[in-house]
Amino acid sequence: MNLYNIKHPEEQVNFAQAVRQGLGKDQGLFFPQIIPQLSNIDELLALPLVERSQQILTALIGEELEQSKLNQLVKNAFTFPAPIVKVEDNIYALELFHGPTLAFKDFGGRFMAQTLAAVRDNNKITILTATSGDTGAAVAHAFYGLENINVVILYPKGKISPLQEKLFCTLGCNIRTVAINADFDACQSLVKKAFDDAELRQTIGLNSANSINISRLLAQVCYYFEAIAQLLVEKRREVVVSVPSGNFGNLTAGLIAKSLGLPIKRFIASTNSNDTVPRYLATGNWLPNATVSTLSNAMDVSRPNNWPRVEELFKRNGWPLSDLHSSAVSDAQTELTLNEMNTKGYLCEPHGAIAYRTLTQDLQLGETGIFLCTAHPAKFKESVERILNIELALPTALDKHNRLPLLSDEMDNDFTKLREYLMNK
Ligand SMILES: *Cc1c(COP(=O)(O)O)cnc(C)c1O
C-alpha cells in the first residue's frame, strides 16, 4: 500500500512507514494512493467478521504484510462482535461498544497496536496522543504491556467523565497519563507541537495513535461491512448511515468502505454544538468556533483533524460534497432523544442519540437507516442516569478499574514542560 501526504503529495510512504510515522511533513495526513474497487462484495458479505476483515485489509494493504501475519493481527484485534439491533422499522443501531473499553475506538486502537508491533524497527517508540475521552482508554488498553513501547496520553483535566478517566488512568506499567489544565483542542495542539519538534521526535521515537493514524481507519472500514452484512438482502440497497462525529475518523472509514464498493447510499455527519462541519456544508465557510463542552464530550472538537481526508475522498471519487448530509444536535435535543429512544425500548447514550436524531430527520421513505452507537451507555453513567432517571449497573470491565487509584500526572498547557517530561521518561 502506497500513501501520499495530502498537504505535500510528493511525500510518499508505504504502509509500514505511515503506521510508524503517523503524520507527514507539516502535519499532513497520509492517504492511500489507490483504493481498489472490490468486485466480490456479495461474497464478502456472506463471510464471518474476522475472515471478511482479513480479506478487506489484504485488498487495502497488499503484499507488504505477509498474509499469515496479517490474518493473525486481525484475529488478535477483532475479538468482539459488532451487532446491529433493530430500534424501529427500518432503523438499526450498529453497536460498536462490545470491546474491552466499551467504545468503538477499541477496533482501531487494537489493530493499530498489533500492526505497529509488527512493522516496528529496533528504535524506541513513544506513543503520544491526545484524547477527549475514549481514544485514551482504547489506546492504553491496546498497548498495555507491549514490550518497548511507551505510551503517554494527554487529556483535558475535568472535561472527561470520572469513569472514563478511571478506565485508562489506572493502568500503570508502560502507560502514562497527563491531565492538562486546558481543553481538548489545546491537548491536540500540544501533540502537534511535539510532532513538529524534529529532535524530540527522533530521540523518543514519537508516534501518534489517535485517529490520524491510517491503520486505525483501515480497521474501522471493516465494521461498516459487518453492519450491511447483517441486513436482509432486500434492505441493502438504500442504506443511509449516520455517524456521530468529532474528529471525523469514523466517517472517513465509512467513506473508504463506500469507495471499496460497499452499498451505502449516503452518510450523515452528526455533530453536537461543535458544529464547524454542518455550518461549512451549509455555507461554504470554514469558521471553527471555540470548543464548547457538551454531553457527548468525545465529540467536543471544533477543528476536526480528519476533515481533509473526507474532502479528498469526495474529490477523488467525483462525489459532490452536497451528498454528505450533516446536522448538529444540541444537548437539550440529545436529552429529549435519549428519553424518546428509551420509551421505544432502546437504551442509548448521548453520542449514539445524536446520530439517531439526525437519522430520523433525514431518512426518506423506502430507505434503511443505520446509526452508529460508539459507546456503551454505562461509559456515560452519570448523564444517562440523570436524563433517564434510572440506575445503570456498571459492566465488570468498568467496575474493576473504578476501584483503582488514579495514576495521572498534572500539567499546565505549556509545551516546554511537556517536552521535558517526554525527554525524561
Ligand atoms: C471518538 C468518539 C466519537 C467521534 O469519532 P471520530 O472518529 O473522532 O469522529 C464519537 N463517539 C464516541 C463515543 C467517541 O469516543
Averaged over 371-379, what is the pLDDT?
Answer: 94
Q: ∠ CA(279), CA(315), CA(318), 5° rounding?
A: 115
The three-point CA angle 212-217-221 to 5° equals 165
pLDDT, average across residues 337-363: 98
SS3 content of the chain, % helix, strand, coil (to 5): 50, 15, 35
User: From edge to edge, which strands make up the β-sheet containing 12-14?
Assistant: 12-14, 2-5, 30-32
Q: What percent of the chain has pLDDT over 90?
A: 83
CA of 48 to the centre of ligand 1 (A): 25
Split at pLDDT 50, 70, 90, the class of 136 is confident
CA of 245 to the centre of ligand 1 (A): 6
Measured torsion, CA atoms of residues 183, 414, 8, 199, in degrees rounded to the nearest 10 = -150
User: For a substitution probing ligand 1, which of 95, 102, 105 has the most ligand atoms within 8 Å of its CB?
Assistant: 105
Ligand 1 center to 392 CA (angstroms)? 22
Ligand 1 center to residue 272 CA distance, Å? 11
Candidates 247, 267, 302: which one to mutate for ligand 1, based on the most atoms within 8 Å of Cβ?
A: 247
Ligand 1 centroid to Cα of residue 299, in Å, is 6
Contact of 291 with 185, CB cutoff 8 Å? yes
More confidently predicted of 325 and 424: 325
Q: Is the pLDDT of residue 210 over 70?
A: no
- Ligand 1 pocket test, pick from 163, 220, 250 with the greatest ligand atom count within 8 Å of Cβ, gives 250
The answer on pLDDT for 135 being more than 90 is no
Percent of the chain surpassing pLDDT 70: 99
Question: In whole numbers, what is the pLDDT of the chain averaged over residues?
Answer: 94
- CA–CA distance, 290 with 302 (Å, rounded to integer): 7
For residues 425 and 162, the model is more confident at: 162
Q: How far is the CA of 362 from the centre of ligand 1 (A)?
A: 21
Top CATH class of 80-104+214-388 equals: alpha beta
Q: Write out residues with Cβ below 6 Å of ligand 1.
A: 103, 105, 133-135, 211, 244-250, 298-299, 351, 374-375
CA atoms within 13 A on the CB side of 380: 29
Q: Tell me the pLDDT band of 211, cut-offs 50, 70 and 90.
A: low
pTM of the full predicted structure? Answer: 0.90
